[in-house]
Amino acid sequence: MASYQVYFRNNGDLIAAIREGTDYWLFHVNDLTRQGEIVTQVTDLNILNERTLSVQDLALTARLRTERANEKINTNQRVEQNFIPFSLNDVVYILEAEYLSAIAEYHGQVAASGPVMTRANTAWEKLSRFIKRQRGDTKIDYTNQEYSYSLADNWVGETAHLCAAYELTNSVPQRKITIAYHCETLNPNSRFTRFMSSIPTKTSSGATTTNINEQLIAPRTIGQAVAAHQKVLKFYLRDTQAARKEQIAAWVAERCKNASNKRCAGIWIRRTGNNSGHTADQDLSKDRFQKIFEAMHEAGIRNFIILGDGFPDGEQNQWVLNLQDVRVYDFSRVWEQNSGLPVATGLQLVPPGQHGGYAEQVAVYTTLYRGYQNPSGNITNINMECIITNKSGGPDLPSLAGVPQIQIAEMANTELMIHHRMGFQSLCSPMWTVLRIPQRVQGEVQTLTLQQQEELQMLITRAGAVHKWHMNELGGNRYTWTK
């Protein structure tokens, strides 16, 4: 485990050195504005003298840096216009503060538990990767390492991440990263098998790396999110013919032709019960749906897109609040045969596994977000600004392809963003945003307080600025994804 000492530089700086393996990470104790640095020998720093930093001073420094890091996050989340994503320097500063918090927690305990030590170690692993990337060191891309999942053929989120990581690292020259998957239930005609057609398979499960996003995707989205997600979008749609993409986009545009010219956003309703390794408690309750609906309406949303599993049969009127000027468009369960998604292109039936498959779902969500320009040049912009979700998984498919989501994340008060997948992703790409709310105790109703609704309303307002920024960045590429 890391050890630390405090050193004085010749110029009077007070710096603390934390040793991690063969490296030292140095941070400024009395200057919260400056980032730390990695060195291999502290003797290179012209050190005058040395003393021990107390646990109390370490904890104080961690708290002050965390407060400043949280100010950066809050400022980014309260933007109403002229959105600017986090820079790599911003992300490194935030991760530094969270790493210090993990180290302070470890050293502050008389008998630190295994989980506390693990949290500190994983925080360092993520921070050091980003610092190395910050200074241009990409040797990690050329290290022999296997990233793999043992997947079920209905694990949409993991499948989407594996494909995205494969594509984003596939273009790295002389890469030595191996990405593969193992699935016990492969069906040659399934949506899953068709979507994974380019990804190597494994004959046995072997070791599984579950932090693929943090290690392979997130670092490639900082400062280049638009290009990275555009690349993933093209890969997802690689086997979908242009005529089929045009047909899907036209179908979505036709269904939304009566939408008002007011703001639009989506809600992902998850209703999986106890299937696919999920618990019923992860589903979106009617009460929380209505709290989200209210917050969206207060933020100016008037066109509501229903996604995911949708409403229970025949219950839309019981779920949707009777608010002024509301229009609801149901694009739920587009993977099902009876969803209305065209089953043929011209005289040719869409093959099994393609109709409503992962790629075609992405085409639907992308049309809702970006709009559609038909061959005659006429444009239909639905402008779905984001997808609000109670739980990740399915919504990661559109988000990796460049459609932002806001996740309502139940997190412990002490949980760091660096250890929460969605929280970590939200620092690295504007395609993810997290509304932190306290974890519920067993049996507590799944809802939102008034304050949480107001915070969600703020993030929905921000989503409009993110959408505008993203469309400006895409420029002429906004509609070309169908080509």
pLDDT, tens digit, 9 for 90 and up, residues 182-201: 888 788 888 999 999 999 88
Residue 71: per-residue pLDDT: 94
Q: How far apart are CA 193 and CA 185, in angstroms?
A: 10
Question: Which amino acid, 251?
Answer: W
pLDDT digits (tens, 9 = 90+) for 300-310: 999 999 999 99
CB contact at 8 A, 302 and 262: yes
For a pLDDT cut of 90, what percent of the chain falls above it?
52
Q: What is the pLDDT of residue 306?
A: 98
Q: How many CB atoms are closer than 10 A to CB 159? A: 24
Q: State mean pLDDT over 165-183.
A: 80
**CA distances to 5, 290, 313, 328 from 322, in Å:** 62, 10, 19, 11
Model confidence at 177, pLDDT cuts 50, 70, 90, reads confident
**Across the chain, what does the average pLDDT equal?**
86
Q: What is the pLDDT of residue 183?
A: 87
pTM of the model: 0.92
pLDDT exceeds cutoff 80 at 15: no
pLDDT of residue 48: 45
pLDDT digits (tens, 9 = 90+) for 248-277: 999 999 999 988 889 999 999 998 765 655
Q: Give the Å distances, CA to CA, from 241 to 218, 377, 399.
A: 29, 20, 22
Task: Please write the tens of the pLDDT for every residue from 217-229.
Answer: 988 899 899 999 9
Residue 70 pLDDT greater than 80, yes or no: yes
pLDDT tens track for 334-368: 999 899 999 998 878 999 889 999 999 999 999 99
Name the percent of the chain lying above pLDDT 70: 87
Report the pLDDT value the prediction gives residue 40, as an integer from 0 to 100. 74
Give the pairing type, strands 37-39 and 3-9: unpaired
> What's residue 138's pLDDT?
64
Residue-wise pLDDT for 285-325, tens only, equals 999 999 999 999 999 999 999 999 999 999 999 999 999 99
Beta carbons of 148 and 177 less than 8 angstroms apart: no
User: What is residue 54's predicted lDDT score, i.e. its pLDDT?
Assistant: 75
Q: Give rounded-to-5 percent helix, strand, coil for the chain.
A: 45, 20, 40
Q: Find the helix or strand (DSSP H, E) in which 302 lies.
A: strand 301-308
Check whether 232 has a pLDDT greater than 80.
Answer: yes
d(CA 270, CA 388) in angstroms, rounded, equals 11
Distance, CA of 245 to CA of 482 (rounded, Å): 5
Q: What is the pLDDT of residue 373?
A: 95
Range in 22-31, 54-63, 159-168 the model is least confident about: 22-31
User: What is the pLDDT, as a whole number, of residue 44?
Assistant: 57
Summarised one tens digit per residue, pLDDT across range 42-63 is 665 555 455 566 778 788 888 9
Where residue 161 falls among pLDDT bands split at 50, 70, 90?
Answer: very high
